[in-house]
Chains A and B, each alone.
Chain A
Amino acid sequence: MYLSRGNRDEKLSTLKLTVVQYGILFMMLALAAGLWRLQVLGADNFRLLAEQNRVRKVPVLAARGKLFDRENRLVVDNYPSVSCFLVREQNRNVDADLPLIARGLDLDLEQLRATLRRYRAAPGYQPIPIKLEVTPDEEAFIEAHRNELPELETIDEEWRLYPRDGFAAHLIGYVGEVSEEDLNQTRYAAYEPGDVVGKAGVEETYDELLRGQDGSRDVIVDSHGREVGYLRTQHAIPGQDLRLTIDNDLQRAAELALGNRNGAIVAMDPRNGEILAMVSRPSFDPNAFAVRINRADWNQLITDPNHPLMNKSIQAQLAPGSTFKILMSVAGLQEGVAQNLKINCAGGWGPYGFFHHCDEHHGAVDIHNAIPFSCDTFFYMLGDKLGIDRIAKYAAAFGYGQKTGIDLPGEQAGLMPSAQWKLKNYHNRWYPDETLDVAIGQGAVEATPLQLARIIGGIASGGHLVRPHVVFPDQLPADFRKAMLDSFPGAGDVDIPIDPENWVTVTDGMAEVTQPGYFHTAGSAHLEGIDFGGKTGTAQLMSHEALGKTTKGKSTNPNVWFVGLTPRRNPELVVAVLWQNGEFSYYPARIGAKVVSAYVEKQRRLANNLQPVKAAAPVEMGAVWTVPGPASGSGANPANQDGNPARMQAGHFLVQNGQIVARAIPETRSGARPERKSGTASASGARPAATPSEPGSALPASSGKGQ
């Protein structure tokens, strides 16, 4: 049938087949050894890797602590927001997806690339925030592209909601993403890129307490990053709420009093150092920083010559002008020089060949009317008698040239010159003529509004100076509080005994300042029926001679000051007002007077239990209205689409101050519907028809017809 191929006797040699068999055996053993290596020896390691593969840590962000004023009224709140993060741990190259992401999230492609570059060094498990405050549209985009763009992750966050008009903005500060430079510092060691940190004000000082602790959620994902399930959740610990020492009412009064003037106000309780109000102008909107400030806004803020970000109440170091005369008076009285100094002011004094002007020809002046007159001539002579060393000694003792130790970042120390200081910095000896400038708070003397408030408040308190603060220390953890106290010798409080007689002299002098009277510098700021004293100050930017020669377009108006007190001795309130490039010094005095009167009026009201007009109790009222037909109106009731052009609706509402606070339960429904919260109800305004889809709002009869 067919020919057999080859030789029937030809067979494969058994030896060769045995060789093949052993070869196969050897191969199998090699494979088994490989399996042993992976599955027995390396099992733990690979199990870990497999776990890391499928479990993704999604941060659960802690809500920042809220800020309240001294009466527990909310100042800084949070609001929920959704952020979009890019997760890099999936084994895919996201570069190709970037154009789509940029388009979907309305981002600039280059900027997105730059963001990713910035995070290149960060550990791979850490998600990169690429868009904060995602809009619902963008969230829908992310949701719709889960499969194509599994690297996108949305995270619910709580963002800061600051008072809208820059209210207390400098005191509160703002938050922002931690910068790369910050991360290199030791105090930011625990922070990671993308973390939100306080960047100024209370937000910065108390960041550690406010930020809370982020939690995380372990999500099981597949290789495309799609979420398959949850493993465990470590809940976030929300940040600590803090009660500020400021009084919203007084803060508001101070904000209004300063208006748009370029300057600052600090109101402090000199008995304990609690800051009751702190204003700086121009201001800024911290809400712009809460998410991320755009470059243009930021550039405008930092290049503005008036420095909106600067908290002038603690950072503006300016010549205190005549407010320095209070310290001069104390020094003169304590040294026993001022009591006997009786002079005749003839418009100035120039014992060293250089005439120093006084504003007026005050005539006979002694220590009692030198303060209300603010007579430069008197203080030139007093300063000359005291000498720079004694002035500097008192000034330093009362805190000129030193930080007050307030719990806000970036405080400036000011400057108090002395013979030593001049020798050290200018390698030159002190000339007695220079003492005359110092004696009226000019020359090299510089102080911040807060320093002046503390010093003058301390003098009026008989030499008891306190360390100012904006957060009640009793709510701080013990170690935090201790660190804060230890940061200043003697915890920042100082006692310098002032002779009671001298104390009365100086405080009476300050009270005279605001009394109407000839030559009195702030007579127009008089408050009837309030024991209100203070001291004005006008610090010229240029000497009288230079003023006439050149101005170069810059404002040469003097910086005007006022430091006010109430009552004059052992005051409850000291307020420092600075108006940069202002006009006359009685303007800041009037501003100060407004703050003082707001304070006193409130105290009197409280003392007499006179509450501000109480909100009226909600009134229940019924209403009947029509809903426009579907053709005309938006958001029409689905039950209403039967062709009726309009239909009648009715409901009961609780109305308070012209706003709906709750929707009363219709009697026909047996109370199953919970009352609506005031927030949502008032959002719909006074027009109840704006929520026609609410079934409870329809009359039972008409809704029956619609079905």
Chain B
Amino acid sequence: MRRFLSFRDFDWTLLGMVLVLCTVSVLEVYSATLHTKYAGFHTKQMFWISGGLVAMFIFAKIDYHKLIDFVPWAYGVCLVALVAVMFFGQKVLGARRWIKLGPMHFQPSEWVKLVLILAVARYFANLGGRSLTWKDILKAFVLVGVPLLLVLKQPDLGTSLTYTPILVAGLFLGGINLRQALILLTACIVLVAGVWSSGKLLKPYQKARLTSFINPDNDPRGTGYQLLQSKIAVGSGGVWGKGAAKGTQTQGDFLPIPHADFIFAAFGEEHGFVGALLVLLLYFLILMRLIQNAQTAADLSGSLIIMGIVAVLTFQIAVNVGMVIGFMPVTGIPLPLMSYGGSSVLFAFLALGVAMNVRMRRFVN
């Protein structure tokens, strides 16, 4: 049954584009941290990327069907880990997100993302593409909703939000019909409005962060400050940018965390409209390539896995770049493959590994 499983079927084009993006990331992390206490983070980023590449190749080798078989266990472990974080987590800046295991700091919520992608893919693949009943939809909501609420409780609004596109993509591709979709949408709007006005589930600072993007000038020293500085950074870059390591906003430390969440602002300042557009184009090509892979996947579960990954990546790009240019609130969602950070880089490469995995087995019968 295993025919033609070879790295010739590995998506080298995709990997090439990803590596170009990673190179851009390392260079920009270097530039952004040049005069800060984070100097030298670009080498760390290179380590993370190398680690990610290794993990990617390992994941590419493991048959995704095995992963899918394994997913209920992983899902259970994730829930346990998230509950454990609530009780034993390290408190950093008022939020319990990290578990300390020996020398390792471990943020379960990032891994939950990948597990959720697989779990949702498995769930909808098992339904076999028939039209969904309300019971099916409810189950899918519970599947994603439980970890989402646990992460929201940490509180980590940004990460919990990245779970929603997995559900949305699953429902959309899994066979939801228009009537159900409209009813759900209405219900969601009502729910969000309810959560917002209840004032219990969202902390005041989260609300403030979510609203300050609408008019950051109102509160230039508080939550709107980061957004304003980010817009100034991007805008002052102009068409051609100020040149590498010459961004005054980035180098003068006006831009918050210019190597992580706001790396796109730093890049936009130093390389201008042209550079930013090229990066967006690269992202677009990567996403299109992934969708193409989803199309050619051997079975529904494979397609759903890749589309789950596409959903998460698209959501993160939209929210992060949208935040940097002032369209979206500050949510702390990193830009995949660009932002500095071990968890973020590892997730991206593991997700790519799974996608490669699916592609490599597209001819497997």
Contact = CB atoms under 8 A, between A and B. Distances in A.
Q: With a 10 A CB-CB cut-off, give which of A10, A12, A223 has the most chain B CB atoms.
A: A12
A51 B235 CA distance: 12
B295 interface: yes
A92 interface: yes
B128 A6 contact: yes
A18 B169 CA distance: 13
A609 interface: no
A1 B1 contact: yes
Contact of A5 (B299, B303, B325, B327): B299
Nearest to B252: A222
B268 interface: yes
A17 B304 CA distance: 11
Interface stretch (A38-46, A397-405, A594-602): A38-46
B295 A17 contact: yes
Contact of B254 (A8, A21, A27, A223): A223
B52 interface: no
A53 interface: yes
Given A46-B232, A54-B252, A34 B173 contact: no
Query: Helix, strand, loop or mixed for chain B's interface?
Result: helix
Interface residues of B, number: 64
B253 to A, nearest CB: 4
B300 interface: yes
Nearest to A12: B303
A32 interface: yes
Given A6-B300, A46-B231, A54 B254 contact: yes
B295 A14 contact: yes
Interface in A1-39: 1-2, 4-8, 10-12, 14, 16-17, 20-21, 23-25, 27-28, 30-32, 34-39
Given A12-B304, A16-B172, A50-B236, A39 B254 contact: no
Interface stretch (B19-27, B99-107, B153-161, B280-288): B280-288
Nearest to B240: A39
B280 A21 contact: no
Interface in B293-350: 294-295, 298-301, 303-304, 307, 310, 314, 317-318, 321-322, 325-327
A219 B229 CA distance: 19
B176 to A, nearest CB: 10
A482 interface: no
B221 interface: yes
B145 interface: no
A473 B326 CA distance: 63
Contact of A49 (B232, B283, B300, B326): B232
A702 B176 CA distance: 101
Nearest to B284: A28
Nearest to A42: B235
A32 B327 CA distance: 12
A32 B264 CA distance: 13
A157 to B, nearest CB: 28
Contacts of B317: 27, 31
Given A10-B128, A24-B288, A35-B325, A223 B304 contact: no
B56 interface: no
B291 A38 contact: no
Contacts of A10: 125, 128-129, 299-300
A43 B238 contact: yes
Contact of A28 (B225, B234, B283): B283
Contacts of A25: 284
A91 B225 CA distance: 8
Residue in A8, A24, A25, A42 with the greatest tally of chain B CB atoms within 10 Å: A24
A228 B252 CA distance: 9
Contacts of B298: 8
B249 interface: yes
A20 B177 CA distance: 16
A299 interface: no
A45 B235 contact: yes
Contacts of B139: none
B204 to A, nearest CB: 17
Nearest to A31: B321
A21 to B, nearest CB: 6
A21 B231 CA distance: 28
Interface in A204-246: 220-224, 228
A39 B126 contact: no
Given A10-B128, A12-B304, A221-B252, A35 B268 contact: yes
A426 to B, nearest CB: 65
A39 B300 contact: no
A393 interface: no
B66 interface: yes
Contacts of B304: 12
Interface string B225-261: 1000101111111110000000011011110000000
A321 to B, nearest CB: 68
A27 B318 contact: yes
B3 to A, nearest CB: 13
Interface stretch (B10-18, B81-89, B180-188, B269-277): B269-277
A50 B299 contact: no
A109 B162 CA distance: 48
Given A6-B299, A53-B248, A39 B291 contact: no
B253 A6 contact: no
Nearest to B273: A39
B68 interface: yes
B239 A43 contact: yes
Contacts of B221: 91-93
A12 B280 contact: no
A53 B280 contact: no
Given A2-B63, A12-B307, A49 B325 contact: no
B241 to A, nearest CB: 9
Given A4-B65, A31-B322, A49-B232, A39 B295 contact: no
B148 to A, nearest CB: 22
Interface string A442-481: 0000000000000000000000000000000000000000
A10 B302 CA distance: 11
A47 interface: yes
B252 A53 contact: yes
Contacts of A7: 128-129, 299-300
A276 to B, nearest CB: 59
B113 interface: no
A1 B253 CA distance: 57
A17 B277 CA distance: 24
A221 B253 CA distance: 10
Contacts of A31: 280, 317-318, 321-322, 325, 327
B169 to A, nearest CB: 8
B276 A39 contact: yes
B236 A47 contact: yes
B287 A34 contact: no
Nearest to B251: A222
A222 B272 contact: no
Contacts of B280: 28, 31-32, 35
**Shortest 3 CB-CB distances between A and B: which pairs?**
A46-B235, A50-B236, A39-B273
Given A6-B129, A39-B268, A39-B273, 17 more contacts: A2-B66, A6-B126, A7-B129, A31-B317, A31-B325, A35-B268, A35-B277, A38-B231, A38-B235, A39-B234, A39-B239, A46-B231, A47-B236, A50-B236, A53-B232, A53-B254, A91-B221
27 contacts: A1-B1, A2-B66, A5-B299, A5-B301, A6-B299, A6-B301, A7-B129, A11-B303, A14-B295, A17-B294, A27-B317, A28-B281, A32-B277, A36-B273, A38-B231, A39-B237, A39-B268, A39-B272, A39-B273, A39-B276, A46-B234, A50-B232, A50-B235, A50-B249, A53-B232, A53-B254, A224-B253
